[in-house]
Amino acid sequence: MNKQIFVNLPVKNLEKSKAFFAALGYTFNPQFTDENAASMVIQDGSIYAMLLVEDFFRTFTSKPIANAKEATEVLVCLSCESREEVDELVRKAVAAGGKTPREPKDYGFMYAHGFEDLDGHIWELVHMVEMPQK
Mean pLDDT of the chain: 94
The pLDDT assigned to 73 comes to 85
Percent pLDDT > 90 in the chain is 90
Q: Cα dihedral sign for 86, 87, 88, 92?
A: positive
d(CA 84, CA 90): 10
Whether the CB-CB separation of 13 and 118 falls below 8 Å is answered with yes
Indicate if the pLDDT at residue 1 is higher than 70.
no
Whether the CB-CB separation of 73 and 30 falls below 8 Å is answered with no
Indicate if the pLDDT at residue 35 is higher than 90.
yes
The pLDDT assigned to 129 comes to 86
Q: Hey, is 59 helix, strand or coil?
A: helix
pTM confidence score: 0.89
All domains in the chain, ordered by first residue? 1-59 (3.10.180.10), 68-134 (3.10.180.10)
Residues 6+ apart with CB under 8 A from 9: 49, 50, 51, 52, 74, 119, 121
Using alpha carbons only, what angle is made at residue 116 by residues 65 and 16, rounded to the nearest 5 degrees? 75
Percent pLDDT > 70 in the chain is 96
DSSP-derived secondary structure letter, 70:
T
| β-bridge mates for residue 128, sequence order | 110
Whether the CB-CB separation of 44 and 1 falls below 8 Å is answered with no
Q: What is the mean pLDDT of residues 103-118?
A: 97
The pLDDT assigned to 87 comes to 98
| pLDDT tens-digit series, residues 37-85 | 999 999 998 999 999 999 999 999 999 999 999 998 899 999 999 999 9
